[in-house]
């Protein structure tokens, strides 16, 4: 077996969901909503399944979806894009893989930010890239000019940037985004921006696409996900958007991965992306309410919570909450002994992990959050006295 994959454990999401199933625990680990989905979008997919084509769609995606993605980003983020810049993929994870293997050659340096989403590093290594890790730390997970000056140099080929950020729940601010863009331009690096949480933002924040910064449109591959926009994580419909030259490179790699994505789902997503602003506002309001409910309950149970500015997630500082266990031990014991699954944030570090923070998903109906909170209160009582 290729050692890059032989040495990998099962992803932390699958591992914790498996334990949650085995122990009948409330699953606040893997990030997926449990409250349903927009019925009209699903109805469109059903219609397209019985009334439309079930053969291969065009390799870069259905024209109607590629148009819809370009129009959506023009309307919501002010980006000037053509449908010919859009490549539809089987989820954002595939788009990221295609972008990495298309753009990284052996020996190229790739800058990534820790905590780093689990699929990035194996793909960088597969491509023969040399990872350069920027280490972000709690409680503020802030990117500084010094960190970027050290990591991004003339040897940098690619910067892989996730914003809003999973697992921390941070939405990087205008100052951090500007610093990153300046560094990419100065060193002629390409940016791959995983912006799948672009609509899941709280407290009046607007999404800041890196591609909108000066000099970035021509060097950015922007990645998005219908799963996150429509609470349909199982559909695995995503896309990469890039200037034509970069788009051609990504398409050349993508044609040997999944090649195409279910046409019926693409048609439904094309319809969904044209929804009124009110849909997106209601979604944010619902997620905000769920976040606030979980955060209040956690505080009542004695947990110290870090701010969640976007994504489905909130981070809890175990050490500050008076819990001496490391995050992985806490999560293993909480799922087995208290009946609640969380994700240890140390799993997102390739080196020198922060071991005191766990991630909880609040994209859940009220009953799930209530049951999760009851189990977390139990976990705190049970585990607070124990040391690692």
Site of interaction with ligand GLN (CB under 6 A): 11, 13, 30-31, 166
Contact in structure between 87 and 248 (CB atoms under 8 Å): no
Nearer to ligand GLN, 2 or 11 (CB): 11
Contact in structure between 209 and 193 (CB atoms under 8 Å): yes
List, in order, residues 6 or more apart from 167 with CB less than 8 Å away.
115, 311, 313, 315, 343, 345, 348, 359
Least separation, in Å, of the C-beta of 180 and ligand GLN? 22
Nearer to ligand GLN, 30 or 368 (CB): 30
Backbone angles phi, psi at 113, to 5 degrees: -110, 125
Q: What gap in Å lies between CA 228 and CA 368, rounded to an integer?
A: 19
List, in order, residues 6 or more apart from 47 with CB less than 8 Å away.
none
Least separation, in Å, of the C-beta of 338 and ligand GLN? 20
Which of 24, 28, 29, 25 minimizes the C-alpha distance to 10? 29
Nearer to ligand GLN, 30 or 346 (CB): 30
Least separation, in Å, of the C-beta of 15 and ligand GLN? 10
Whose CB is nearest to ligand GLN?
31
Nearer to ligand GLN, 9 or 51 (CB): 9
Contact in structure between 337 and 382 (CB atoms under 8 Å): yes
Least separation, in Å, of the C-beta of 117 and ligand GLN? 7
- What are the start-end ranges of the H helices in the chain? 3-6, 12-23, 39-51, 63-77, 92-103, 120-126, 145-151, 174-186, 226-229, 244-254, 263-273, 277-300, 327-333, 366-383
Least separation, in Å, of the C-beta of 202 and ligand GLN? 17
Nearer to ligand GLN, 166 or 168 (CB): 166
Least separation, in Å, of the C-beta of 31 and ligand GLN? 3
Contact in structure between 229 and 219 (CB atoms under 8 Å): no
- Which of helix, strand or coil describes residue 338? helix
Nearer to ligand GLN, 14 or 386 (CB): 14
Place of tokens 């139990």: 378
Least separation, in Å, of the C-beta of 21 and ligand GLN? 14
DSSP strand pairing (156-162 vs 190-194): parallel
Nearer to ligand GLN, 115 or 339 (CB): 115
């Amino acid at each position: 077996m290729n050692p890059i994959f032989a040495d990998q454990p099962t992803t932390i999401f699958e591992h914790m969901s498996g334990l949650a199933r085995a122990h009948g625990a409330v699953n606040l680990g893997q990030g997926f909503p449990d409250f349903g989905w927009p019925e009209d979008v699903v109805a469109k997919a059903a219609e397209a399944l019985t009334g439309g084509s079930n053969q291969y769609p065009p390799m870069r995606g259905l024209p109607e979806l590629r148009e819809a993605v370009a129009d959506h980003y023009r309307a919501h983020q002010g980006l000037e894009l053509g449908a010919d810049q859009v490549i539809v993929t089987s989820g954002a994870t595939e788009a990221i893989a295609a972008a990495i293997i298309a753009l990284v050659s052996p020996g190229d340096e790739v800058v990534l930010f820790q905590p780093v989403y689990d699929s990035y590093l194996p793909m960088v290594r597969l491509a023969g890239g040399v990872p350069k890790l920027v280490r972000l730390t709690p409680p503020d997970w802030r990117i500084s000019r010094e960190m970027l000056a050290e990591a991004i140099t003339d040897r940098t080929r690619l910067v892989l940037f996730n914003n809003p950020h999973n697992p921390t729940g941070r939405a990087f601010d205008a100052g951090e985004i500007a610093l990153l863009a300046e560094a990419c331009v100065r060193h002629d690096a390409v940016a791959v921006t995983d912006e799948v949480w672009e609509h899941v933002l709280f407290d009046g924040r607007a999404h800041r696409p890196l591609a909108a910064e000066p000099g970035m449109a021509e060097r950015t591959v922007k990645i998005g996900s219908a799963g996150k926009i429509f609470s349909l994580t199982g559909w695995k419909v995503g896309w990469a958007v890039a200037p034509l030259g970069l788009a051609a490179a990504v398409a050349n790699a993508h044609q040997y991965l999944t090649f195409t994505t279910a046409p019926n789902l693409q048609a439904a997503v094309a319809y969904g992306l044209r929804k009124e602003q009110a849909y997106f506002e209601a979604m944010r309001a619902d997620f905000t309410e769920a976040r606030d409910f979980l955060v209040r309950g956690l505080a009542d149970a004695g947990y110290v919570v870090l701010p969640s500015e976007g994504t489905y997630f909130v981070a809890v500082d175990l050490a500050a909450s008076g819990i001496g266990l490391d995050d992985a031990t806490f999560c293993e014991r909480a799922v087995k002994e208290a009946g609640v699954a969380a994700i240890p944030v140390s799993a997102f570090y390739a080196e020198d992990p922060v071991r005191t923070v766990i991630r909880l998903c609040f994209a859940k109906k009220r009953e799930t959050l209530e049951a999760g909170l009851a189990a977390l209160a139990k976990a705190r009582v049970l585990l607070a006295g124990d040391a690692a």
